[in-house]
Structure 1
Amino acid sequence: MSGASNSAVEKAEPRRLASATIAETLEAEIVAGLHPAGSKLDENKLVQRFGVSRTPIREALHELVARALAERKPYKGVIVADVSRERVEQMFEAMAEIEALCGRLAAERMTMGERVNLEALHVKMGKLAKRDEQAEYDKSNSEFHKIIFAATQNTDLIELANTLRVKLAPFRKFQLQSAMRMARSHDEHEEIVKSLLDRDPKGAERALRRHLMSAAREVLTRMG
């Protein structure tokens, strides 16, 4: 029984990797405007394009819907959502206020261990930025902000912050493709970390709000 169970896990893992890769590819194409709003993400065509079965394609489409980049419509299937400048502005505005609140609470409630972990991660991210390792920087960037969310010690706020972060993830990743923006992001993190280590609620609140506004400016500039 154990052998059969291990075999099932081994088969599932490559499928998850395939669906994640497909989702990331389609996500980048949608954000870059290669799939117009209202166009259908046809399962059959995607199966042929990526050379996989329907299962990872459906999992990838499910991820795009979860990130608000696509919508499921009766009798039509999965359709690319209309991600307008106004919608992106609204999401970043909401995220800026939520992260600012998280920063203010985290500055007061963050444990010593969380402060140490955040500072160590910040140092690591500085090295990634200098090496222009965008994928790893983006992954660490998500971890950076999640540490701050968790430090609020407020379950509902953590859930809200993570939910909106998932929706904004494609755009935040998009704006980090520039080495110059990565370096600027790291500089902004420096102010956030300093405020959190100094237990400065107002400073952390201000630094996080500015950080999100800076990211929004980069995304909207790239959208044209």
Structure 2
Amino acid sequence: MSDKVMKAPGAGDCPPRELHSTVIAAKLEAEIVSGALKAGEKLDEQGLTKRFGVSRTPIREALHMLVARSLAVRVPYRGVIVAEITRERVEQMFEAMGEIEALCGRIAAERMQTSERVDLERLHRRMSAMAEAGEAQDYEAANIEFHERIFRATRNDDLLELANTLRLKLAPFRKSQLQSERRMARSNEEHTEIVNAILDRDAKRTEQALRRHLVSAAREVLSRLD
């Protein structure tokens, strides 16, 4: 029996089967955020299995991810429908994320170990090089790790879970704003303020820097929605 995984048209080489759902969800997320998939449009399981060349299992997993990230809703007797992405909804998510990140930053600035501060600074230097080179995909992946390190440094599992849940919902929008080299450079400048505050163990300054960082990201995303 062949161990090769079927490929989705235009998707390039797909990862192993258990990762199919992630690939499919990312593709559908991008189409919803860009408007290619309209609010109210049904995400038909059968049609998607044909489109991506996979069984229904990864399709159902991908749709579950979309629902969890508020990009789609389950409607009785209709199935999974593309959610309406309103400006107000995005503003609310960014507002909540800004407050959670600010709280995590304040706590992390006090609790982060010396080795963690050194590692965060090293990561920031690598990200600066990525931003200068215009390596958006690498920067995006490193950006997730940057914020995750701050969340983990709170030493609070409930805050970590809440922060990661909100970040997952906002991920499709934040991903789109980092495709701009201008925004990537600005994001990196904002990270400099955050890292310097953490290195100084200044909880209040870290809190303020993270809140400004999220406001800046929200402004970029909302300008694209407009």
1:51 paired residue number = 53
Correspondence 1:1-224 to 2 at 5 A = 14-224=16-226
Q: RMSD value over aligned CA atoms?
A: 1.3
Normalising by structure 1, we get a TM-score of 0.91
SS of residue matched to 1:38: coil
Kindly state the Cα deviation for residue 176 of structure 1 after the two structures are TM-superposed.
Answer: 0.6
Kindly state the Cα deviation for residue 139 of structure 1 after the two structures are TM-superposed.
1.3
Deviations 1:48-98 (A, max 9, x none): 211222222112111111111111222111111112100000000111111
Alpha-carbon separation, structure 2, partners of 1:212 and 1:159: 18
Deviations 1:106-142 (A, max 9, x none): 1111111211111111111112212222222111111
Cα distance in 1 between the residues matched to 2:138 and 2:65: 20
The letter for the 2-side match of 1:87 is: R
**For 1:147-170, what per-residue CA distance to the aligned partner results, in whole angstroms no more than 9, with x for missing partners?**
101111122111111111111111
Q: Report runs of 4+ in structure 1 exceeding 6 Å deviation.
A: none
Secondary structure of the 1:78 match is strand
Distance 1:23 1:160 in 2: 21
Identity across matched positions, percent: 67
CA distance in 1, matches of 2:40, 2:139: 32
What are the ranges of 5 or more consecutive residues in structure 2 without an aligned counterpart? 4-14
String of CA shifts for 1:161-202, please: whole Å, max 9, x gaps. Answer: 111111111111111111111111001000000000000111
Task: Tell me the number of residue pairs that the alignment of Structure 1 and Structure 2 aligns.
Answer: 213
* Cα separation, 1, equivalents of 2:135 and 2:194: 21
Q: Which runs of 5+ in 1 are unaligned?
A: 1-6, 8-12
Distance 2:53 2:60 in 1: 13
**CA separation in 2, counterparts of 1:100 and 1:108?**
13
Q: Secondary structure at the match of 2:74?
A: strand
From the two aligned structures, give the one with the greater helix fraction: 1
Structure 1 SS opposite 2:60: helix
Distance, in Å, in 2 between the alignment partners of 1:147 and 1:166 is 15
Shift of 1:17: 2.8
CA deviation map 1:20-59 (0-9, x unaligned): 1111111011011111111101111111211222222112
